Structure 1
Amino acid sequence: MNRCGWPPGKGACDRQHWRGDPPDEVLLSWPCVGFRELGQGFGYGDRVVGSNIRHSVRAVVLDEADRVLLGRHRLKTAVVWATPGGGVESGETPMDALSRELRDEIGLTISDLGPHVWSQEATGSKYVAGYDGVVNDYFLVRTSSFTPRGLMTDVELAQGWITGWRWWSLRDIAGYGGPDLFSPRDLLNLLGVLVAFGVPAQPVRLGA
């Protein structure tokens, strides 16, 4: 088992491309999946190159009490709490995509991307079906606490495996002892550093 709880080489698929229970053999771009098997290619300066890369953008939404907003994703083999966001579609900029995802999922309007705080890259056709690799970029969004209610209905959210939203404090995450997983898998430490020291000079690279 990886520290996140997923078996090595297993995970959930990208909800932009699959409906229903995700097939076990398809890996998604969520970084709760362990990347120890990659071994190489996680330098800090280079980006994954190529035209057939799945690019996703996600928001680290923090309120005035430094709580993070996470969605409850009910997958076939586990429940995963993950940040809002999703894939950059054809013709969209990252800003377009994140703005659409936040508006549709949680009802939050943003005027810019915000600081780029975390990043993840992986190459290989196994990570998202039909793609040669993935790039996941996380942007910090500061807002006052609110009740999440986007344009998507509960049925539409459930089709993407999202069954609810919750504000989590660092203490909540640290004290959680249940079976659910968090994504990114090192979310507690990542958030702790972000809250304590602010925006990093360059995006922190996620991985093994």
Structure 2
Amino acid sequence: MNREKRTEIFRRLREQRPNPTTELEYNSTFELLIAVILSAQSTDAGVNKATAKLFPVANTPQAIFALGVDGLKQYIKTIGLFNSKAENIIKTCRILLDQHDGEVPRERAALEALPGVGRKTANVILNTAFGEPAMAVDTHIFRVANRTRIAPGKNVLEVERRLLRLIPSEFLLDAHHWLILHGRYTCVARKPKCGSCIIEDLCELPMSQRPEY
């Protein structure tokens, strides 16, 4: 795929969603961090239901740490892997309190040192909270990048690096959200909605692999 086609793809995605953002609900960088940790292998809607009960009660490292693992579990038990997530979140709160004055760090290494925070979660925080052009490649972005041929790659790190290199700079800050939302609602896994796709004519998926509509 050439640069002109990529530019037009993101121009259309920007026109469709001028102000894209995460569908996780949060009011602070710390709340976003907790929501993203909880979202692993879970839906944003499911996380939002849990945090709607949790955050009014505890939405700071001090308050969540005070709940303890068992106390936190009562608020997040509807979320997949809640046992391990509760333990990681309590450990993360302790580190934030002991090493970062209760603030979420904006350095990648410090973020990835937090329990429950991997490269993808760190990228979400860097991009959404701190406005850095990071690319959190989840299953949606990985699928869209490969299916459309915007930035094909064999693994998430390869796709991440290619997207950062190939996406025109004017689109890079919001590209993460555009690609996720496109994959979540249009370029879905089992049967992509090609007939209602605003970039269908630019997509390089062979016609033989596209669903009939």
Q: TM-score range by the shorter chain?
A: under 0.3
More contact order relative to length (CA 8 Å, sep ≥ 6)? 1
The structure whose Rg is larger is 2
Higher strand share: 1
TM-score by length of 2: 0.21
TM-score by length of 1: 0.22
